[in-house]
Structure 1
Amino acid sequence: MYSEPRDPAAVSGQRYSLHGETMGTRYSAVFFAAPDLDAEAIGLRLFAAVDAVDRQMSSWQPHSDLNRLNAAPTGQWLSVPAELFTVLEAALQVSRESHGAFDIGVGALVHAWGFGPGQGRVDEQQIDALRARPHRPASDVLEIDPVHRRVRKSAAITLDLSGIAKGFGVDQLACCLAGLGITRYLVGIDGEMRAGGSKPDGQPWIIAIEKPIRHLREVMGVMELDDAAIASSGDYRHWVEHHGTSHAHTMNGARREPAANALAAVSVVAPSCMLADAWATALLVLGESAGIELARVRGMEALFVLRDGDGFQTLSTSVGELSGDPQQSPGLATRS
């Protein structure tokens, strides 16, 4: 039986590329779908998805739901939007599982070290005051009520979601496309990425891994991603100079200071970008010994980049295995 050859675009789908601004940076969405799709309408839905995350979870927007929670009296239950509740619940879980390394209760530290609104000025007086009193992580202070979707604080605390909200925003982009029946996509916000399926030809999505060098955007290698998410945390994007020493923006709550160890960057692959984002932060705080060991014990897929003199050493973990050559680590198709 003879049949007319089908339009390749109708078989594999047309390639679309949309992007916009959010959370002080940019989001992107590349996907394959029917050629007659209303790209403008989808673009509006994508923006609405990430804008809702920003309005709820931003430390920079005075009237965000996060800042409303920060300003709420202790002991008072406060209802919060479903998206914010999801992120708070996940943050507390990762905090417990990382032995407090991931802690959203470091907002006061973030501000004191000059990384919050009004950034750039280190407040030594505030830093000394924070060091003088015991630090209580958010997992000890924040109580959540899943039934009524509300939270309350047992003590004054300033929450900061910069280590997890961006990843959740990526997941929201993915959910937006999936809700429209689009299954082949790559979405991201400032390097945090999530892939849906593979490309129409069956090939995985290729993700560039940056070399952790300040003032320079250079690719260290690439990673293949298929129905998974990846997020990275490092000391090379945001930092301050204080008394001749450079301090990165990721906070070690237990020590009440910026994380400082041999790790330059950590990338984590996980089912959701929210979890990848939080775990990349946690492992960076834990450092080159405890972080790598925890990732190995948990069977996580993670890539660690350690500073080694003027160069870098890479180690990767996957399903309980540790490798000094990322090419040999199953699940992490990284090539240097």
Structure 2
Amino acid sequence: MSNPDNHTEEAGPPTAGRLLIPAGLKPSAVRASHIDAPIRRLSGATMGTGWSLSYAAPDSVQNSAVVAALEDTFANVIQQMSNWEPASDLSRFNRTQGWHDLKPDFFKVLSRALEIATLTDGAYDPTLGAAVDKLGFGPSPLSVYPDESRGPVSTAQLWRHIELDPINQRAFQPGGAAVDLSSIAKGYAVDLCAQALRGLAIPSFLMEIGGEFVGQGVKPDGHPWWVQLELSDIAPAPSEPPHTDIALVNLALATSGDFIRRRDGVSHLLDGRTGEPVTNGLSGVAVMHASCIDADGWATALFALGERDGLAMADAQGLAAIFSTRTPEGAHSSLSASAQKMLG
């Protein structure tokens, strides 16, 4: 989770903490987003969580039009990719073995999830829906469990048996693969919301769904949209800065962690290599990326990999990532090479 823009619009950069600023930020990109208009704030509920939007736009942009565009986006993602809705495209895919014609958004998100699964050798596994549900962190099994009578090809790593047909936008359900895209679809929804806001000619905004963000441009006072990270349930170690703030200027941010959703000490996040809850000592991971779909999916993947392997993967993929580990002294953070380049 993260706290959006805890600082007043008149205030300068946060102090007494660690600052991360996008590397290679061009002044022309900042100037293009500047607008002399008050900041407006909207919020609501979607996808089992909350959403919020802070933005500055010409007077001709009506709040009602903004809300309508966002709600259309939410409905589209839920209809295609929610495993909490029995009638969604994803739930139908999970129930029925064979080839399925998929809508473009569903196909894109499933494809990216499988790519990340391949790159992490299954540490990130988008077919753990049944396992998550059995731990009590998912929806009713009646809505998402595949038809067991069709005989699943395996009980683990079923993502390897899902086939994609990019030419015809189809995917093959091998039977038994309970696809769960909650670790990546929310980030994609944020990307779609940002796209809709740009379509309304809104030059400056901070869009968030359940702690996943996209920041566009700068605020009317010329300062970035600052977001303060929350990656642990314990205080920072004495050697650590008291907080980390990220300037979201044309940048996405997503986090993954178990310091909020733990039950009796059991994490809701699973390691796809074992199918068991993660127990690697991490409390949270944050990823900054040009797109929120990648920030979201990779945050979960790096959390499953753990600090050592996760840092190696982040560096190999050029990801700006921050890892928070629980230690006896307090929360300790590690930054990937790309994240270190953002230090202000």
- Is TM > 0.5 for Structure 1 vs Structure 2? yes
* Aligned match of 2:246: 223
Q: Tell me the distance in 2 between the aligned counterparts of 1:278 and 1:332.
A: 23
3-state SS, counterpart of residue 77 of structure 1: strand
Q: Tell me what 1:317 maps to.
A: 336
Deviations 1:160-218 (A, max 9, x none): 1111011111111101101112221110111110111222333221001115118xxxx
2:261 matched residue in structure 1: 238
- Determine what percentage of the aligned residue pairs are the same residue: 34
Whether contact under 8 Å (2:38, 2:220) holds in the other structure is no
Identify the residue that residue 32 of structure 1 maps to in structure 2: 56
Aligned AA (1:239): R
Task: Check if 1:171 corresponds to 2:191.
Answer: yes
Q: Distance in 1 between matches of 2:245 and 2:59?
A: 30
Match of 2:36 in 1: 12
Q: Structure 2 residue aligned with 1:257, among 232, 251, 276?
A: 276
| In structure 1, C-alpha distance between the alignment counterparts of 2:314 and 2:253, rounded to whole Å | 15
Task: Please tell me whether residue 50 in structure 1 is matched to residue 61 in structure 2.
Answer: no
SS of residue matched to 2:61: coil
The answer (yes or no) to whether the contact 1:224–1:332 under 8 Å persists in 2 is no
Gaps of 5+ in 2: 1-33, 142-151, 235-241
Runs of 4+ with >3 A deviation: none
Deviation at 1:318, TM superposition (A): 2.9
Relative CO higher for 1 or 2, CA cutoff 8 Å, sep ≥ 6?
A: 2
Q: Which residue does the alignment assign to 1:127?
A: none
Q: Match for residue 4 of structure 2?
A: none
Task: Return the alpha-carbon distance in structure 1 between the equivalents of residues 250 and 70 of structure 2.
Answer: 19
Normalization by structure 1: what TM-score?
0.82
Residue number in structure 2 paired with 1:331: 342
Aligned residue in 2 for 1:136: 157
Q: Corresponding residue for 1:113?
A: 135
State how far apart, in whole Å, the 2-side matches of 1:330 and 1:38 are: 39
Question: In the alignment, which residue of structure 1 is the partner of 2:226?
Answer: 206
Do the aligned residues in 2 keep the contact of 1:209 with 1:220 (CA within 8 Å)? yes
Within the candidate set 313, 316, 321, 1:297 is matched to: 316
AA aligned opposite 1:92: L
Identify if the C-alpha distance between structure 1 residues 43 and 17 changes in structure 2 by more than 3 Å, giving closer, same or farther.
same
Counterparts in 2 of 1:157 and 1:332: CA distance versus 1, 3 Å: farther
Shift of residue 274 of structure 1? 0.8
TM-aligned CA distance change 1:137 to 1:77, over 3 Å: closer
Q: Which amino acid aligns with 2:244?
A: G
In structure 1, C-alpha distance between the alignment counterparts of 2:136 and 2:182, rounded to whole Å: 14
- The answer (yes or no) to whether the contact 2:231–2:283 under 8 Å persists in 1 is no
Q: Which residue of 2 aligns with 1:99?
A: 121
Match for residue 62 of structure 1 among 86, 90, 97: 86
Q: CA deviation at 1:148?
A: 1.5
**What residue number does 2:149 align with?**
none
What corresponds to 2:10 in structure 1? none
Scaled by the length of structure 2, what TM-score is found? 0.80
Distance 2:211 2:199 in 1: 23
